[in-house]
Chains A and B, each alone.
Chain A
């Protein structure tokens, strides 16, 4: 085959390759299947303590020395919307009494400070490093009396967590919004459940306990610390590092991507072969 004969396949061949590459790339981009969690938060040196294996989750506030620098950071970055006393304005809610876990979640995932005023804040590179984040956490947590605060910053022991239980709990309570592969999906009225592929262990635990945004809240009465650690282990394990031994993960969104590939590459490719075997009219 030369020249003309090869030439007649260039355009359809390029089209197939181009479209399928686009499809594969977007399918892969829509939920990065093998991306790991974000940087694990390093617990500040002054409060380092070896976790006992019996405690699946421990809740700890940053040391009180963090409150003052936290106040400065808060005033510079957060008070314009949340008020200097964090009691909220018409633009932003009251933060007093929400607890350290809430503040840590929103700030460490980069959702806060808000870059664009939209319906739902999105994860973006956090503006503060771990220490600064914990300083802000310490400040906001200090605004409410001890007993009237939400949960403190959790540290999760996933090493002893039962993965199978985590699997069951995740599918029952989380998959309905985040999908069973943690890819995330659109909710009603413009909201969405985000992908779980970049959440750290701490952030997952924080989200479970505090229920950010449209996410429901699972307190200790609904879900024990052991169960939380199991879910966290499942998310940071098989969800973020899925066993894709079957080949390309295709985004983990199931039949939508599969149909795309099956029709375009499968049927389309074979039609090209038929085009080669046969004649034109």
Chain B
């Protein structure tokens, strides 16, 4: 059977008889297919109506989802089945026309670009240079409002927190911490007094048995009565390190499972964290309030370019 393909306008368009096998439906039994499709469409209709009714009486998430979902699905199934089984099975074809233009047209385009460009720029290189330079400067300065207006420069703000010498430790409700508050094996999230809820100042206060602490050189006074304070900002990617494993004396970050040794100065022992948790030196004043001796041992949180 030969295939005649014409879509150009000077040939008459194709015609076909109804008994052309290409026009026959896919379904072996079109009547039965129509019945099934009809049922699907009807199920769709019922589903839509049921959704409407559910909505009207107040709505319920599961029923809304099922009714409208089944309704839409049945409706769509019927429609797709209609297209697949009851419409001409084909196959039909169309011709691909190369859309690449002829050689002459391509050459004409290229030469138009170059020659007319030459008309503009020949012996006017200086002007062309000015044009380019102006555009470059415009491009650069356009970036300024787009970026710089968004926010402040970082300056030194990533290097420090609000912890200062003598500040009391308070819990999330602002209550100051006393030396008798935590039992050995206890933990609490604390902030500097006046900065409750601060993202950068958040600190984990732990109490270990004093005898177990391995004091690092220079930090002999940092852990009075077994109290240890570490920055709660993970040095990996900044998640709060809220998981204190009291038996193994480790702090585990829930985000990417960096593990820090509590008794050895917050040393990183497993996982992707590159640096220990900065430690806050503590002191207990004469009335028993826990205070910070000064700020953290190093900048808190994840690494950044200016961190030296």
Contact = CB atoms under 8 A, between A and B. Distances in A.
Touching in the complex, A and B, CB below 8 A?
yes
Interface of A: 168, 172-173, 175-177, 185, 187-189, 191, 211, 213-219, 221-222, 245-247, 277
Interface string B169-192: 001100000101111111111000
Interface in B251-308: 252, 254, 257, 259, 270
A176 B257 contact: no
Contact of B240 (A176, A185, A188, A191): A176
Contact of A191 (B80, B178, B183, B247): B247
Nearest to A247: B62
Given A176-B243, A221-B178, A216 B186 contact: yes
B164 interface: no
B242 interface: yes
A189 B188 CA distance: 23
Contact of A216 (B62, B65, B187, B270): B187
B247 to A, nearest CB: 4
Given A176-B240, A188-B250, A213-B247, A222 B182 contact: yes
Interface in B210-244: 240, 242-244
A187 B245 contact: yes
Contacts of B187: 216
B213 to A, nearest CB: 16
Main secondary structure of the interface of B (DSSP, over half): mixed
Instruction: Give chain B's interface residue range (CB within 8 Å of chain A).
Output: 20 to 34
B245 A188 contact: yes
B61 A188 contact: no
A221 B180 contact: yes
Given A187-B252, A222-B183, A222-B188, A215 B246 contact: yes
A188 B246 contact: no
B246 A245 contact: no
Contacts of A185: 254
Contacts of B172: 168, 172
B170 to A, nearest CB: 13
Contacts of A245: 61
9 tightest A-B CB contacts, nearest first: A176-B242, A221-B181, A219-B183, A217-B185, A216-B187, A214-B245, A214-B247, A176-B243, A216-B246
Nearest to B189: A172
A261 B245 CA distance: 33
Given A176-B254, A216-B187, A245-B61, A191 B245 contact: yes
Nearest to A186: B257
B182 to A, nearest CB: 5
B243 to A, nearest CB: 5
A172 B180 CA distance: 21
Contacts of A187: 243, 245, 252
Contacts of A191: 245, 247-248
Nearest to B249: A214
Nearest to B246: A216
Contacts of B186: 211, 216-219, 222
